Every structure is written in C-alpha cells, then in structure tokens.
Amino acid sequence: MKIGVLALQGAVREHLRLLEMAGADAVPVKRAEQLADLDGLVIPGGESTTISKLMHKYDLVEPVKRMAEAGKPMFGTCAGLILLAKRIEGTDTHHLGLMDIAVERNAFGRQRESFEADLNIRGVADNFRAVFIRAPYITQVDDGVEALSEIDGKIVAARQGHLLGAAFHPELTDDVRVHAYFVDMVKESLQVPTV
C-alpha cells in the first residue's frame, strides 16, 4: 500500500514519518503522474493559499480531484482541510471543493494562534494530544459528513466516506493513531471490489 503526501509546501516530512510508522509506504508527491501509483493521499498543513497556488501552477488540481472522485482516500490536515472544503467562510471560492463542509480559517483567534488540547476523536482515538497552529475549524457539516471531534463546541475533525479532515496536526506528535486510522481507510478502500 502506497500513500502520497502532497509535497509542495508545509509539513511533508512529518506526515511521511507517521505514515511509515503506521505501516504504509509513504512518498512525497510533486507531479500529477505520480498520483496513478497511489492508494491514498495526504494533503498537509502549511498555508492553504500558497499550496493552492502551487497546485494550480503544477497542474495538480484536476488530477487530485479525479483521484478523489475515483474513491481514493484523502486526508487533509489544517491547511489541507481548508483545501478539501467546499466552502470557506468569507469567500466565494474554494480550492479542491471535495468535502461537504464549510471551514473558517485562522478561527481560534490571535490569542490562541497555537495551542494543544486533548481530544476525543470518535472511532479514532481518545485523549489524543492535538497541536493546533493558526488552525481552522469546521463551521458546518452537510449530510453524509460525520463530525468526529469538537473543542469548545467547534468541530475539528470530520469524515465523509473516503475523505478525512483534521484542523490540527497529528503529524507533529509521536502518536500514530490518527495516521493508523487513515491507513485503515486506505486498506478498506482496496478491499472494495472494483466491478
């Protein structure tokens, strides 16, 4: 099983390390041709506008969308979650627009630009020490999306079928449980008959 990490900007190496710890082969992805080989893709944190610009520059937007539409699992963290969302509060645009959620960027305010919190992530992990850095949160989940975790009533993780999103950075800890959950999603997707 081979999982790619979109390697245009942001926390790439950290995701590669955690995916390997969770038992997957993990590779950095910079070109659309690489996607065909992959069973799943992680879109890391960083700066969503920058990652989006680079995705356009390297013609990755449509190929990544097609990969998701083909049912390959994707996991977006922080900026990656923003890239997956269909709606971004305060704008009329979205980036990949794959997940039926709305997000608000930098949503925890200046006083809490970065912080850690213990999360219960339903079906994934209890007492997960989560690192938030200028994090978004999910303001709305539409039908078919399951909110998996909240902090102060704000949704910070969600799943919609083969798409997983987290407002925090599970790759910045040594706790492999969230990545292991994603690796399981990829394993399950490989078991689905293709006919």
Asked if residue 133 binds ligand GLN (CB under 6 A), the reply is yes
13 is in an annotated binding site: no
Q: Is position 169 annotated as part of the catalytic site?
A: yes
Measured between alpha carbons, how far is 103 from 100 in angstroms, rounded to an integer?
10
Piece of the chain touching ligand GLN by CB under 6 A; list 25-33, 43-51, 94-102, 184-192: 43-51
Annotated catalytic residue within 15, 94, 162, 169: 169
DSSP state of 34: G
Containing 118, the helix (H) or strand (E) segment is strand 114-121
Helices (H) and strands (E) in the chain, counts: 5, 12
C-beta neighbour count of 83 within 10 angstroms = 29
Q: Is 134 annotated as a binding residue?
A: yes
Question: 79, 134 in Cβ contact below 8 A?
Answer: no
Q: Is 105 in the site for ligand GLN (CB under 6 A)?
A: yes
By CB under 6 A, tell whether 45 contacts ligand GLN: yes
- Least spacing, CB of residue 132 vs ligand GLN, in Å: 8
Q: Which of 14, 78, 94, 162 is catalytic?
A: 78
Would residue 78 show up in a list of annotated catalytic residues for this protein?
Answer: yes
The pair of three-digit structure tokens given for residue 11, joined into one six-digit string: 């926390």
Residues placed in the known binding site? 46-48, 105, 133-134
User: Which positions touch ligand GLN (CB under 6 A)?
Assistant: 45-48, 78-79, 82, 105-106, 133-134
